[in-house]
Amino acid sequence: MYFPWLRNKVFVTVGVLLIGLENLLNFLKRLNLTEYEAKAYLALLRLGSADAKTLAETSRVPRTRIYDVIHGLERRNLVQRKFGDRPVLYMPTPPEVSLEVHMRKLLGELNGGFRAIQKVYYATGAKEAFDTWVVRGEGTYLTAVKLAREASSLLILRCASLPLEVFQQMVEALRKAKRRDVRILTALDSSLKESIGSQDFEDFLKEFNPKIEDFFLPLNIIFSDFKDLLIFYAPTPGQIESPEPVGLYVKTGGLESLLRERFEKAFGRVTP
């Protein structure tokens, strides 16, 4: 139901509730807002407009600090004054005008830091010290999808258990790899249907014609271009205690040529 007299306040409030206030506070802090600035900004988003007293009460920012907080938000172009009213009313600036600038700056800093770490890593020869890494948590899923997205000649996927969202990302990566003429071999555990749903399972069967097996160990395997191998465990939603995903990431290094040779003898040539 839409209430014209509430305008956008209903939708803003519902949005805040759905996303989670704590998550939004953390997001704003990552953009270098202080705790008080983040609270005041979120309160103003919910209110639409407010004077300093109302904003302090709603956000629970001390009244002795509220003007400093508002001035800080104004300097960041997150808040603007509505002139002509007494007391002065403050309104949030549209996010695409204000927050996007801060996000671009943060992303630039992250990218710069990432490139700097890469230079140090490769300059010290660290890449030669290890060819096997343990990966944990969400990074396991990111690595798996990344390998699928970047494959150029061969992609082997053995899927035992994946969260639906990750499985769908993997399917999209496989589709793009297929359009790049990457050779794709897939196998699914028959129990996967329970965790991703019968529709997604059946659609995968029609599109990629995988082998259906009952895996002895519930491990996922991704092998990409004879160079990168990821073996990992992913907890299923039905588990009472769900540990985080964990896996082993292997760079084949000098074995790449041998692996390619053995594979091509068994399954035919793979386009480089």
191-240 residue pLDDT tens: 888 888 889 999 999 999 998 988 877 889 898 888 888 999 887 655 54
153-198 residue pLDDT tens: 999 999 988 888 999 999 999 999 999 999 999 999 888 888 888 8
Residue 98 CB neighbour total at 10 angstroms: 19
Looking at per-residue pLDDT, the higher value among 129 and 252 belongs to 252
Is pLDDT above 70 for 267? no
Q: Give CA–CA dist 261/251, Å, rounded.
A: 17
The torsion angles phi and psi of 155, rounded to 5 degrees, stand at -140, 120
Alpha helices (H) along 124-209: 138-150, 164-179, 192-196, 198-208
Of 85-94, 113-122, 175-184, where does mean pLDDT reach its minimum? Answer: 113-122
Domains of the chain in start order, with CATH, are: 9-93 (1.10.10.10), 130-267 (3.30.870.10)
Given 3-state DSSP classes, what are the helix, strand and coil percentages for the chain, each rounded to the nearest 5?
Answer: 55, 15, 30
Is pLDDT above 70 for 112? yes
% of the chain beyond a pLDDT of 90: 32
36-61 residue pLDDT tens: 999 999 999 889 899 999 999 999 99
Q: Are strands 89-92 and 79-82 parallel, antiparallel or unpaired?
A: antiparallel
Task: Output the CA torsion sign for 200, 206, 207, 211.
Answer: positive
Burial of 22 (0-12, 13-18, 19+ CB in 10 A): exposed
CB contact at 8 A, 40 and 66: yes
pTM over 0.75: no
Token digits of residue 137: 């948590």
Q: Give CA–CA dist 262/65, Å, rounded.
A: 70
